[in-house]
Chain A
């Protein structure tokens, strides 16, 4: 090492550092490539699909039967690609899931943030997180083998007709999976509400629960709503639970006791059968994927913006 290297850098070193910077930059650009790849491949394949099926039929048609014809003159030979039953089914199962996870998640968060001691908190939080770490295929098995038969049997006892692959069973289990997502976001949000609000309320003579209900929760509501949007996006995009526990036939119904199918289920069904790459049947999966991507993207952007705004509001 000459003394000059202390003051001026060797030209080779400068070159190497430039190279390293370029490599680092290109690695971070990979994220952009992935997004571009997703959008481009979905749009490209969906465009091919919309050449044979009109986009209006896809978005507003109420009949979904994408089988390919065996004979020329077969009834429904071309297949019907009205995706409304799938959208409704997805919405139905997601609604059931949110009805389970929102109250459980929010109340857990309130208890953890406002009442629980540090010891209880550090014990319960990781336990709840386990629910989010269990693979979804395991939830799917659980829903199909344990929950669905139990609900169906219970329905028989009460005298209700419950389909074996009811939206209720899939939604219930999906709800359990989402609890930790809602509870950890709500917990963060509630913690971010400044103590001065709580102290003001207590100073006026409100009890702790009155403070939480009338001061902390209203202040935290926008943030919690943002969290629920993120949870909705998660529920809509969830695949394995519905593939294993929800139905395959596209029924247009709002009754959670009946079997419905979802967008993700149909993507899996369309793409795991026979593989002709450019049949409308295969391409339909990409159109569904595009719809799924757009809806979840909007929910994620809006949800995370709300949560972020909320955090900054009190900083």
Chain B
């Protein structure tokens, strides 16, 4: 620090080692700053790598093919009934469409690799299009259909040479790919399938919709239980309970519960809800109950803080005009504390949304291809889906995993934003 050596201050000869001491000062301050920068760069590196891997999940590669939907080739007679449409053999139509594009002669084995460029997703695409627009039947339609997972990865990865080398497309397929690209038959489009379909063995059809619904159900149960019980418990402890041993015991108990490892709540759920009460495995009802046990202490603690923040004068004023304690609390104190309570509840829900371990304990780990329609059906949840896909050996799932993480992070971000806005709005 040079400004310390201005004329009039003690010279270094008068205070031995002062220069070194000031250097030490700088070094120490730098260490602190470096620690913060290192921690934040972890965060940045983390976000960049997740977004970098995951954005591809929201894009898909589509191939344009001319699909022959004339009555002759479908083997139908005019007019086609709904049953006819449901029974159309889409696979063979897609395959013959592919053969039409690649005019060269292909053998049986080569033909199979050719068909491999349009996967199961293309058949679903075509079926959806035909069901939606039955007027296409009887024509030859030019349609964009979703490519297979391998073509998709090849298309997205072609910026770097390394991924070209790792591609699972055969040389012949790469040739065909080049032909299609030259004809303008390949495009990258937004992957709605990822948001509207559920888990699948094929990465190109797999989506997060089922997991989102599962998480939504579980969070609903969790919110109902932990919000009601948690807020009422906080009201009791803050407004009614006498300061005695029992209350102290309750407080210590709640604080300790808040720090118990989450997996323990899963073990509790497994032993009590599944083992003792015989509730169904893997159901979002049980998932929500376990998450509620976990978030309850957090909700109680944050609600108590919000209740403490209400000025005592409010209570006294209510008592002064003859309100009973119950009236004072429920007519005046709780409404005033509500924004704070809600903030705590939302943050608790955000934690519950990201929690995985207790859900694994109650069996939420199965492959589930349909979104649940009731609370007792087997369901998945977003973080569980992330875990399952991360374990999957298919290369296409790495991208899907990061994509599911992004969906999860967006939900968490929205919930936290809601909490922040709520707090800001009512602090004024």
Q: Tell me which residues across on chain B come within 8 A of A140, comparing CB atoms.
A: 387, 390
Inside 8 A of B27's CB, which chain A residues have their CB? 209
- Which residues of A, 13-45, contact B by the 8 Å Cβ criterion? 13, 16-17, 20-21, 23-25, 27-32, 34-35, 37-38, 41-42, 44-45
Please indicate the chain B residues that have their CB under 8 angstroms from the CB of A108 in the complex. Answer: 32, 35-36, 39
Question: In the complex, which residues of chain B have a beta carbon less than 8 angstroms from the beta carbon of A158?
Answer: none
Q: Is B300 located at the chain interface by the 8 A CB criterion?
A: yes
A24 touches B240 (CB 8 A): yes
Provide the bound-state CA to CA distance between A13 and B243, in Å.
Answer: 25
Contact partner of B40 (CB less than 8 A), chosen from A37, A124, A238, is A124
Looking at the assembled complex, report how far the CB atom of A150 sits from the nearest CB atom of chain B, in whole angstroms. Answer: 10
A133 on the B face (CB < 8 A):
yes
Report the bound CA distance from A295 to B390 in whole Å: 30
| Cβ–Cβ < 8 Å partners of A106 in chain B | 35
Check A115 for interface membership: any CB of B closer than 8 A: yes
From B300, B322, B357, B383, A31 is in contact (CB under 8 Å) with B300
Q: Give Cα A285–Cα B263 distance, bound, in whole angstroms.
A: 11
Within 8 A of A (CB), among B260-301: 260-265, 267-268, 270-272, 275, 281, 293, 296-297, 300
Kindly state whether residue A230 has any CB partner on chain B within 8 Å: yes
Q: Is the CB of A207 within 8 A of B21?
A: yes
Q: A41-B268, A264-B261 are in contact. Are A240 and B236 (CB under 8 A)?
A: no
A interface, by DSSP: helix, strand, loop or mixed?
A: helix
Contact in complex: B35, A272 (CB < 8 Å):
no
B412 close to A135 (CB less than 8 A) = yes
List residues of chain B with CB within 8 A of the CB of A60.
Answer: none
CB of A243 to closest CB in B, whole Å: 8
Q: How far is the CB of B348 from chain A (nearest CB, A)?
A: 12
Q: Are A27 and B40 in contact (CB under 8 A)?
A: no
With A137-B354, A207-B22, A296-B259 known to touch, is A27 a contact of B386 (CB < 8 Å)?
Answer: no
- Secondary structure at the B interface, as helix, strand, loop or mixed, is helix
CB distance from A188 to the nearest CB of B (A): 15
Decide: A138 and B39 in contact? CB cutoff 8 A: no
Contact pick for A239, options B49, B230, B261, CB 8 Å? B261
Please tell me if A194 contacts chain B, counting CB pairs below 8 Å: no
Contact of B256 among A127, A135, A144, A297 (CB under 8 A): A297
Q: Once the chains bind, are B297 and A31 in contact (CB under 8 Å)?
A: yes
- Is B250 an interface residue when CB atoms closer than 8 A count as contact? yes
- Is the pair B271, A44 in contact by a Cβ cutoff of 8 Å? yes
Residues of A within 8 A of B271 (CB): 41-42, 44-45, 286
- Given contacts A107-B31, A138-B409, A207-B24, whether A286 and B267 have CB atoms under 8 Å apart is yes
Interface flag for B63 (CB, 8 Å) = no
A168 to B22, CA, bound (A): 37
Which partner residue on chain A sits nearest B254 by CB separation? A31
Closest residue on chain A to residue B232 by CB atoms: A27
Q: Which of B32, B300, B361, B387 contacts A115 (CB 8 A)?
A: B32
Interface string of B172-210 (1 = CB under 8 A from A): 000000000000000000000000000000000000000
Decide: A293 near B264, CB < 8 A? Known: A104-B39, A137-B354, A264-B357: yes
Are B40 and A30 in contact, with the CB atoms below 8 A? Answer: no
Q: Is A202 positioned at the interface, with any CB of B under 8 Å from its CB?
A: no
Residues of A within 8 A of B365 (CB): 272
Which chain A residues border B350 with CB–CB below 8 Å? 133
- B405 at the A/B interface (Cβ < 8 Å)? yes
Residues on B with beta carbons closer than 8 Å to the beta carbon of A130: 43
Q: Is the CB of A41 within 8 A of B263?
A: no
Q: Does B375 contact A (CB under 8 A)?
A: no
A296 to B261, CA, bound (A): 8
- A145 near B232 with CB under 8 A, answer no
- In the complex, are the beta carbons of A138 and B229 less than 8 A apart? no
Contact of A136 among B232, B296, B354 (CB under 8 A): B354
Interface string of B29-68 (1 = CB under 8 A from A): 1011111101110110010011001000000000000000
Other-chain contact of B408, A16, A103, A138 (Cβ < 8 Å): A138
Q: Which residues of B contact A133 (CB under 8 A)?
A: 350-351, 354, 412, 416
Give Cα A292 to B263, complex, Å: 10
B257 beta carbon closer than 8 Å to chain A: yes
Are A240 and B356 neighbours in the complex by a CB distance under 8 Å?
Answer: yes
Q: Does B401 contact A (CB under 8 A)?
A: yes
- Taken residue by residue from 272 to 309, chain A's Cβ proximity to chain B (1 for < 8 Å, 0 otherwise) reads as 10010100000001100100110011001100100000
B233 interface residue (CB < 8 Å to A): yes
- For A28, A239, A300, which residue has the most chain B Cβ atoms within 10 angstroms? A28
Are A296 and B260 closer than 8 Å at their CB atoms? yes
Shortest Cβ gap from B286 to chain A (Å): 14
A237 to B265, CA, bound (A): 12
Q: Are A141 and B402 also in contact (CB < 8 A) when A268-B357, A289-B267 are? A: yes
Q: Does A228 contact B (CB under 8 A)?
A: no
B263's contact among A127, A146, A210, A237, by CB below 8 Å, is which?
A237
Please give, as numbers and ranges, the residues of chain A lying within 8 Å of B275 by CB-CB distance: 41, 277
Residue of chain A at shortest CB distance from B275: A277
| A21, B240: Cβ atoms closer than 8 Å | yes
Query: Is there an interface contact between A141 and B405, defined as CB atoms closer than 8 Å?
Result: yes
Task: Give CA–CA (A256, B267) in the complex, Å.
Answer: 29
CB A17 to nearest CB in B, in angstroms, measures 5
- Chain B nearest CB from A38 CB (Å) reads 5
Residue with the highest number of chain A CB atoms closer than 10 Å, among B254, B272, B281, B357: B357
Closest A residue to B412 by beta carbon equals A133
Q: Is A213 an interface residue, CB under 8 A from the partner?
A: yes
B38 partner residues in chain A, CB cutoff 8 A = 104
A residues with a Cβ closer than 8 A to B are 6, 9, 13, 16-17, 20-21, 23-25, 27-32, 34-35, 37-38, 41-42, 44-45, 103-108, 110-112, 114-115, 124, 127-128, 130-131, 133-138, 140-142, 144-146, 176, 179, 183, 207-210, 212-213, 230, 233-234, 236-240, 243-244, 264, 267-268, 271-272, 275, 277, 285-286, 289, 292-293, 296-297, 300-301, 304
A-B contact pairs, 7 of them (CB 8 A): A31-B257, A108-B35, A108-B36, A128-B36, A134-B409, A142-B50, A210-B24
Given A28-B237, A289-B263, 10 additional A-B pairs, CB 8 A: A27-B228, A31-B250, A34-B268, A34-B296, A111-B32, A115-B33, A135-B412, A289-B267, A292-B263, A296-B259
Residues of B near any A CB (own CB < 8 A): 21-22, 24-25, 27-29, 31-36, 38-40, 42-43, 46, 49-50, 53, 228-230, 232-233, 235-237, 240-241, 250, 253-257, 259-265, 267-268, 270-272, 275, 281, 293, 296-297, 300, 322, 324-326, 350-351, 353-357, 360-361, 363, 365, 383, 386-387, 390-391, 398, 401-402, 405, 408-409, 412, 416
